Amino acid sequence: MKIHILGICGTFMGGVAILARQLGHDVSGTDANVYPPMSDFLNSHNISIHEGYEDTTHLDDEFDLIIVGNTLSRGNAAVEFVLNEKIPYISGPQWLAENVLHQRRVIAFSGTHGKTTTTSMAAWVLEQAGLSPGFLIGGVAENFGTSARLGESDYFIIEADEYDTAFFDKRSKFIHYRPEILVINNIEFDHADIFGDIDDIIREFRRLVSIIPEKGTIICRGDDENITTMLSAGCWSRVIRFCGKSAKWQYQSIKSDFSTFELRNCDKRLESVTWDQLGEHNASNALAVTAVAELLGVDSPDIVRALETYKSVKRRLEKIGQIRDITIYDDFAHHPTAIQTTLGALRAHVGEKRIFAVFEPRSNTMKMGIHKATLGQAFSDADVVFAYKPPGLSWDLGKTFTHFSGQYNQFDSVQNIVDEIVPALTPGDHVVIMSNGGFGGIHNLLLNALRESE
């Protein structure tokens, strides 16, 4: 089948493209924003990408099916062409459900934070246990060098997003997946472009919980009030909790940065984990994965061995360079909670060394100013903030940092950030680039400028 994907460079749709290729289809795609690592990843699989939607001449090819990403809407030239020419189309989640998941034992990882990390971590733990799962992860998993694969067993691990499916299907993506095991890491308000408030998000999780089989299992964080509220409205499946006083799975820090911690089962120490990950949030992620692995029969020593070789996902506090003893990280920052936990983990790891946060408010929720009241305090563990104000931002970015105790700098040019930050850096500093987009290529600009300054 000849398939074309609109919105192919999104992390989810890129994974769909890989799975379609592995099923033997001829796959190509279009996107407005083509940038690494996804563009490089797709090119390495010989999947051609057309940049921009206005020119639709490439859609004149006789495609058997168009898979439409959820970032596209009516008025988009490609969408209008598909509708006018009556080309068969489908959403990514529906295609995935019908072509990949329908005969698999689906393990879904959901929540506002930690979905990508726990999905990739679970895939690695089950891989090391010999279960060879299929997976679709919202990022390139470093242990596998890919974001998706079909796998060789009945198990399929998927990142389950609450964002809507497509312009023609406003249900949350995860409703399509019909998981046997559902992990809920946390529930916070996000995606303000489609959800009015936290109750709207809780409602979508209730719909998901309502389709988990009676023989299925829900694994969730035990100290999250929104999860507790959601489950109290009705739950028909077994529930296993991690974190919190009464939870089955708990952790105990051994090092303050959580690079070493203990796994505990009902307050009984099982194993200690020493790994490359940082932060209490990652210890929590490990508990969720441990609960899944134990449910599938993996012994705790095998779980620990897999965790200790886990290499995370690109763009999750990923170290991308060290020049003049200045360390540069790339982090997929999309929410104040994620920013705070990332910087807190790094602070616990580096001690008194200076942390520079280079930030772009890029997500739809960020650009709408929904989190402006709490955004500034999320950077409390940074010493210096270099913020980029994108064109058209309707609220005062600088005002949110009024009570920030460090040094705040604001720019309307990516190049100006690079020009100003390079002279300010000294050996031992740590720089975290925080954005869920390409950020104008600032990663390479900064690395190149540092090399030239050596």
How does pLDDT run across 40-68, given as a tens digit for each residue? 889 888 899 999 999 999 998 789 999 99
Residue 407 has pLDDT above 70, yes or no: yes
Residue 209 identity: V
Q: Which of 9-13, 126-130, 277-281 has the highest mean pLDDT?
A: 126-130
Tell me which of 3.90.190.20, 1.10.730.10, 3.40.50.300, 3.10.580.10 is the CATH number of domain 318-453.
3.90.190.20
How far CA 422 is from CA of 386, 411, 442, in Å, comes to: 11, 14, 12
Give the model's pLDDT for residue 44: 87
Range among 149-158, 185-194, 369-378 with highest mean pLDDT value: 149-158
Lowest-pLDDT range, 127-131, 160-164, 237-241, 370-374?
A: 370-374
Contacts of 210 (CB under 8 A, 6+ apart): 234, 236
Residues 6+ apart with CB under 8 A from 169: 91, 94
Asked whether 248 and 240 are in contact (CB, 8 A), the reply is: yes
Share of the chain above pLDDT 70, in %: 99
User: Once rounded to an integer, what is the mean pLDDT over residues 10-37?
Assistant: 90
Domain 103-307 and domain 318-453, same fold? Reply is no
Per-residue pLDDT for 370 more than 80?
no
Q: What are the structure tokens assigned to 175, written together?
A: 């409703």
pLDDT recorded at residue 267: 67
By percentage, how much of the chain surpasses pLDDT 90? Answer: 70
Q: Are 374 and 307 in contact (CB under 8 A)?
A: no
What digits encode the pLDDT tens for the residues 248-269? 999 999 998 889 999 999 867 7
What lies within 8 Å, CB to CB, of 58 at 6+ separation is 30, 50
Lowest mean per-residue pLDDT among 101-115, 291-305, 336-350: 336-350
Query: What is the token pair recorded at 148?
Result: 């998706």
pLDDT in tens, 408-428: 999 999 999 999 999 999 999
What is the β-pairing status of strands 355-359 and 430-434? Answer: parallel
- pLDDT grade, residue 398 (50/70/90)? confident
Question: Which class does domain 103-307 fall in?
Answer: alpha beta
Please tell me the predicted confidence (pLDDT) of residue 46.
87
Cα–Cα distance measured from residue 237 to residue 204, given in angstroms and rounded to the nearest whole number: 17
**Topology of the domain covering 2-92:** Rossmann fold (3.40.50)
Residue whose pair of structure tokens reads 């312009």 in the numeric block: 167
**Is pLDDT of 332 > 70?**
yes
Q: Is 406 or 157 the better-scoring residue by pLDDT?
A: 157
367-36-75 Cα angle (round to 5): 50
pLDDT band at 110 (very low <50, low <70, confident <90, very high): very high
Asked if residue 219 lies in contact with residue 292, where contact means CB atoms within 8 angstroms, the answer is: yes
- Long-range contacts for 267-274 (Cβ within 8 Å, ≥24 apart)? 270/300, 271/300, 271/301, 271/303, 271/304, 272/304, 273/304, 273/307, 273/308, 274/308
CA distance 7 to 27: 13
pLDDT at 327 over 80: yes
Question: Which of 12, 193, 188, 218 lies closest to 111, judged by CA?
Answer: 188
Cis peptide before 336 (omega within 30 of 0): no
pTM score, whole prediction: 0.82
- Is a pLDDT exceeding 80 seen at residue 364? no
- In this model, does residue 285 exceed pLDDT 80? yes
> Which tokens belong to 163?
């964002």
Residues 6+ apart with CB under 8 A from 374: 336
Nearest in space to 335 (alpha carbons), one of 204, 186, 220? 186
Question: Domain residues of the chain, as ranges?
Answer: 2-92, 103-307, 318-453
SS3 331: strand
> Where does the pLDDT of residue 97 fall: very low under 50, low under 70, confident under 90, or very high at 90 and above?
very high
